[in-house]
Amino acid sequence: MHVAKKGLRALGIAESFAERESSTLAGVVMRKDMQIDGVALTRIAVGGTDATEGIERIVEKLHRRDVNILMLSGGIIAWYNIIDPERIHADTGLPVINDQPTRNRRDWRRISPATSPATRDDSMRIAAWGSGILSRSPRDSRFICAAGDT
């Protein structure tokens, strides 16, 4: 991963559900300069066990080799449909950062333990951008999800 590279891209994943049976997942590819560079949607079951597969479907649909990191806005979505970041990393090769809200702040420091130490260091540098690409990509994904649920 080339953190200093101008064309760095992150894939942010978020979900929204407006019905009882399924939830919309959106993936937004965002460049380091904050431009949206790709979008994909899929559906997962509310209360199901297919969240990890849904995220992997988004990665496949986008068919992008230039994405450097995958960012999640939580590890449990759609009423206890649990995401397995280690499996996503193993299946896609992408380092996974999971946004875990704490009492007073959001913590982007939860990087998949399956990620190599060198990749983890680069991921931490990306996480240091704070309010930039890390917050925009999942936030924009949530907006797109909500539009997909109408």
Does the pLDDT of residue 114 top 60, yes or no? no
Closest C-alpha among 24, 15, 26 to residue 62: 26
> How far is the C-alpha of 76 from the C-alpha of 50, rounded, in Å?
11
Q: Does this model's pTM top 0.85? A: no
Domain ranges of the chain: 9-148
For the domain spanning 9-148, the CATH number is 3.30.2170.10
Task: Name the pLDDT band for 131 (thresholds 50, 70, 90).
Answer: very low
Pairwise pLDDT comparison (108 vs 61), residue with the higher score: 61
DSSP tag of 43 = E
